[in-house]
């Protein structure tokens, strides 16, 4: 039986969408591909003037919805960059929609057809490369955050106890009262008190969290480790 397939076309600018040249070329290619490889083209969905920076595109979401609803068994694109230009988004799509046992992905330019062993091998290579790229990006981000923290720059989230976000929005500035509490906590810890005992001792002196509660043992641990 022919594979029920939804084709997805995209152009990134309104000018391209108005001229329709790129869309017409994509449409011709998907129809020719469908005829050559015995595909039942149940729909051709277009995103005109839509960037590939996000997956939140009306046409793409409709096409993916057809896969989820089993209205189509495969998604056909002329080029993978019509689908997405993001390594992270490609990895998410492969895992969510095109993993073994799910829908098939077909791309004219790279001869990807996951109905075949060769197409599945190509998809596995793409998934591996996507995962590698994501891990590399994660390592680079972690390294950059560690460098910023070492330089005393703010790396996001709530400022740690004893500090506030400086006026430049990038560095941390000490808070005098909280710094005194941190020094007291470290002194008590050096004397061998437990984290809970330190929190109780500080609370008896009127020292608590920013919301007026006793400091949690985990907070004391962070204060003493800093």
Please tell me whether residues 28 and 124 are part of one structural domain: yes
Determine, yes or no, domain membership for 157: no
pLDDT tens per residue, the chain (226 residues)? 899 999 999 987 654 544 544 888 899 999 999 999 989 999 999 998 888 788 999 999 999 999 999 999 999 999 888 888 777 788 888 889 988 889 999 999 878 888 888 877 877 777 676 666 667 777 776 676 566 656 556 666 677 788 887 777 667 788 888 889 999 999 999 999 999 999 999 999 999 888 888 999 988 998 887 6
Burial readout 139-175 (b: 16 or more C-beta within 10 A, e: otherwise): eeeeeeeeeeeeeeebeeeeeebbbeeeeeeeebeeb
Which pLDDT score, from 0 to 100, does residue 39 have? Answer: 94
Count up the domains in the chain and report the number.
Answer: 2
Please tell me whether residues 80 and 122 are part of one structural domain: yes
Determine, yes or no, domain membership for 17: yes
- Per-residue CA distances from 209 to 17, 124, 176, 215, 216 (Å): 57, 50, 14, 5, 8
Determine, yes or no, domain membership for 55: yes
Which pLDDT score, from 0 to 100, does residue 185 have? Answer: 92
Determine, yes or no, domain membership for 150: no
Which pLDDT score, from 0 to 100, does residue 17 have? Answer: 45
Determine, yes or no, domain membership for 16: yes
Last residue of a domain, one of 88, 119, 136: 136
Please tell me whether residues 122 and 188 are part of one structural domain: no
Please tell me whether residues 85 and 12 are part of one structural domain: yes
Residue 9 · residue 46 · CB < 8 Å: yes
- Per-residue CA distances from 24 to 7, 28, 185 (Å): 13, 6, 70
Which pLDDT score, from 0 to 100, does residue 18 have? Answer: 45
Which pLDDT score, from 0 to 100, does residue 168 have? Answer: 73
Please tell me whether residues 190 and 98 are part of one structural domain: no
In terms of residue numbers, what domain contains 172? 163-225
Task: Give the domain CATH number at 79.
Answer: 3.40.50.1390
């Amino acid at each position: 039986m022919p594979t029920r397939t939804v084709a997805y076309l995209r152009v990134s600018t309104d000018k391209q969408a108005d001229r329709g040249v790129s869309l017409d070329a994509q449409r011709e290619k998907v129809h020719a591909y469908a005829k050559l490889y015995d595909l039942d083209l149940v729909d051709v969905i277009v995103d005109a003037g839509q960037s590939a920076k996000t997956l939140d595109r009306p046409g793409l979401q409709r096409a993916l919805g057809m896969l989820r609803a089993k209205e189509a068994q495969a998604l056909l694109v002329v080029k993978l960059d019509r689908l997405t230009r993001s390594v992270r988004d490609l990895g998410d799509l492969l895992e969510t929609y095109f993993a073994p046992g799910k829908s098939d992905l077909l791309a004219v330019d790279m001869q990807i057809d996951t109905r075949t062993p060769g197409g599945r091998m190509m998809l596995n290579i793409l998934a591996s490369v996507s995962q590698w790229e994501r891990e590399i990006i994660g390592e680079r981000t972690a390294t950059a955050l560690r460098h910023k923290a070492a330089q005393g720059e703010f790396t996001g989230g709530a400022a740690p106890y004893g500090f506030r976000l400086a006026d430049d929005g990038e560095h941390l500035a000490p808070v005098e009262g909280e710094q005194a509490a941190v020094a007291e906590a470290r002194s008590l810890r050096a004397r061998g008190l437990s984290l809970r005992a330190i929190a109780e001792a500080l609370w008896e002196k009127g020292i608590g969290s920013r919301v007026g509660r006793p400091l949690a043992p985990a907070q004391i641990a962070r204060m003493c480790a800093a």
